[in-house]
Chains A and B, each alone.
Chain A
């Protein structure tokens, strides 16, 4: 008797758990993503907890250049709230494709390879590349070519563009260490495990600001070279290929923010200024076919 009750209870609980364990990957249930977000008055975004592009501040509020710009743009579309999911940087596009959220708001560079997997918004910002080095920069490493020449170890963020820039500048594969988070990169330089870490100058300056005790400094920003030509780069927001209405509506609002000067106001607390506005001739199509 006792055994039978135990078994039935187990079966019922097990069944209930099994049902709640799955989420179908069609988060919006077949509805158009823009419409679904408008109805729910919430837009689901993906961030990588990388300051200052997209992260949670000490009060837990989602902030950073990309989420704040997204907030402003989506509010104009009638969607006032953001719901952020934090995933490692290299999982942002896979998670987007798996419909865990509808927009990547993490300051992602527009590259041809990424364009194959997803669609980018119009360029949102452009930033220079820089290197994080020990204070005083004893080896005098200022550019990617110096890293190759001095044969020092350098850290990059997993799935970020800097690895390509480094190999393009002649840095050997075994000099490059791929790490998962910006903080691990800082730690690697501060602990002496690598000599330098390559990321955008905005990210690195923010990292140094947040870690005043660390014996590191940021080199002046530069534009990396590939095949003798400067690399044109810009970052933006990422959408699934099928969500054209969402992307087009967002692009319209983004353009308004850029043109009106609102963008600079929103982004300046995070270290951006007018020099980071994308140049007019830099378009998503060009970057995707580069």
Chain B
């Protein structure tokens, strides 16, 4: 085996920088996905004449096509067309957020539909205003139940961040690629990159599973 510990140690600082970028992208993208997902879910449910079916169509379209192409479309087509010069990082947050919002929308939908019909009827019987029905009765019951599913999507997003190397974002994999290109040694940086992913995602998965068990007892 051709492993060079010195090489590995030398590449670690750069890789950790990349990991930080990866985590930042995941967190920001998740926030966007969680927020936008509710918007998509509510838009579909509201059954507004043109907006709802169009939203549903767009959401399906984004879910069924590769994220990589959506990143390219955003970076090379949409942004120059509307004059935005966003960095790869910001573009990445938007692309990840919008793409995963299409998945979280479905999660929210399932959560909302799981709220017993009796809750809705009671809220109406109590003459609660529409907004209050949602914020006071439905969402507080729907959302905790779907937190594990949301958590799993965040972990999935974390693992799809490396796609952004296609637009020059310096995530952990891109850093590994840089190290490989400059030192001509590929074994250490790529293996370390893989291990770094495990180091973050395994504890995260265990955490989500714990939350799932807790929520299941609600």
Direct contact of A and B (CB under 8 A): yes
B-contacting residues of A (Cβ < 8 Å)? 90-91, 93-94, 97, 113, 116-117, 158-159, 177-180, 184, 187, 191-193
CB pair A191–B182 under 8 Å, yes or no, is no
Q: How far, in angstroms, from A226 to B201 measured CA to CA in the complex?
A: 44
CB pair A159–B181 under 8 Å, yes or no, is yes
B164-181 residues at the A interface, CB under 8 angstroms: 168, 177-178, 180-181
Known A90-B181, A94-B186, A178-B178: A192·B168 in contact at CB below 8 Å: no
Enumerate chain A residues within 8 angstroms of B168, measured Cβ to Cβ: 177-180, 184
Contact with A along B60-76 (1 / 0, CB 8 A): 00000000000000001
Residue of A nearest to B166 (CB): A180
Enumerate chain A residues within 8 angstroms of B177, measured Cβ to Cβ: 90, 158
Q: How far, in angstroms, from A207 to B76 measured CA to CA in the complex?
A: 18
A–B pairs, 25, beta carbons within 8 Å: A90-B177, A90-B181, A91-B181, A93-B184, A94-B180, A94-B186, A97-B184, A113-B182, A116-B184, A117-B184, A158-B177, A158-B178, A158-B181, A159-B181, A177-B168, A178-B178, A179-B168, A180-B168, A187-B76, A191-B79, A191-B80, A191-B85, A192-B85, A193-B85, A193-B87
Residue of B nearest to A163 (CB): B182
Contact with A along B77-100 (1 / 0, CB 8 A): 001100001010000000000000
B79, B87, B184 pick with most chain A CB within 10 angstroms: B184
Enumerate chain B residues within 8 angstroms of A93, measured Cβ to Cβ: 184
CB pair A159–B182 under 8 Å, yes or no, is yes
Residue of A nearest to B80 (CB): A191
Residue of B nearest to A153 (CB): B87
Enumerate chain A residues within 8 angstroms of B180, measured Cβ to Cβ: 90, 94
Q: How far, in angstroms, from A178 to B178 measured CA to CA in the complex?
A: 9
A-contacting residues of B (Cβ < 8 Å)? 76, 79-80, 85, 87, 168, 177-178, 180-182, 184, 186
Residue of B nearest to A118 (CB): B184
Enumerate chain A residues within 8 angstroms of B184, measured Cβ to Cβ: 93-94, 97, 113, 116-117
Least distance between A252 CB and chain B CB atoms (Å) = 28
Least distance between A202 CB and chain B CB atoms (Å) = 22
Q: How far, in angstroms, from A184 to B75 measured CA to CA in the complex?
A: 11
Enumerate chain A residues within 8 angstroms of B76, measured Cβ to Cβ: 187
Q: How far, in angstroms, from A193 to B80 measured CA to CA in the complex?
A: 10
Enumerate chain A residues within 8 angstroms of B181, measured Cβ to Cβ: 90-91, 158-159
Residue of B nearest to A158 (CB): B181
Q: How far, in angstroms, from A158 to B168 measured CA to CA in the complex?
A: 10
Q: How far, in angstroms, from A193 to B79 measured CA to CA in the complex?
A: 11
Enumerate chain B residues within 8 angstroms of A90, measured Cβ to Cβ: 177, 180-181
Q: How far, in angstroms, from A88 to B177 measured CA to CA in the complex?
A: 12
Closest 5 CB pairs of A and B: A90-B181, A159-B181, A117-B184, A192-B85, A191-B80
Least distance between B43 CB and chain A CB atoms (Å) = 32
Enumerate chain A residues within 8 angstroms of B182, measured Cβ to Cβ: 113, 159
Q: How far, in angstroms, from A177 to B178 measured CA to CA in the complex?
A: 12
Residue of A nearest to B183 (CB): A113
Enumerate chain B residues within 8 angstroms of A187, measured Cβ to Cβ: 76
Residue of A nearest to B76 (CB): A187
Least distance between B76 CB and chain A CB atoms (Å) = 7
Least distance between B68 CB and chain A CB atoms (Å) = 14
Residue of B nearest to A97 (CB): B184
Q: How far, in angstroms, from A176 to B195 measured CA to CA in the complex?
A: 28
B168, B178, B180, B186 pick with most chain A CB within 10 angstroms: B168
Enumerate chain B residues within 8 angstroms of A178, measured Cβ to Cβ: 168, 178
Least distance between A155 CB and chain B CB atoms (Å) = 9
Enumerate chain A residues within 8 angstroms of B79, measured Cβ to Cβ: 191
Q: How far, in angstroms, from A179 to B181 measured CA to CA in the complex?
A: 12
Residue of A nearest to B170 (CB): A178
Q: How far, in angstroms, from A154 to B131 measured CA to CA in the complex?
A: 51
Q: How far, in angstroms, from A100 to B85 measured CA to CA in the complex?
A: 38
Least distance between B157 CB and chain A CB atoms (Å) = 23
Known: A116-B184, A180-B168, A193-B85. 18 other contacts (CB 8 A): A90-B177, A90-B180, A90-B181, A91-B181, A93-B184, A94-B180, A94-B184, A113-B182, A117-B184, A158-B181, A159-B182, A178-B168, A178-B178, A187-B76, A191-B79, A191-B80, A191-B85, A193-B87
Q: How far, in angstroms, from A146 to B79 measured CA to CA in the complex?
A: 28
Q: How far, in angstroms, from A171 to B79 measured CA to CA in the complex?
A: 28
Residue of B nearest to A193 (CB): B85
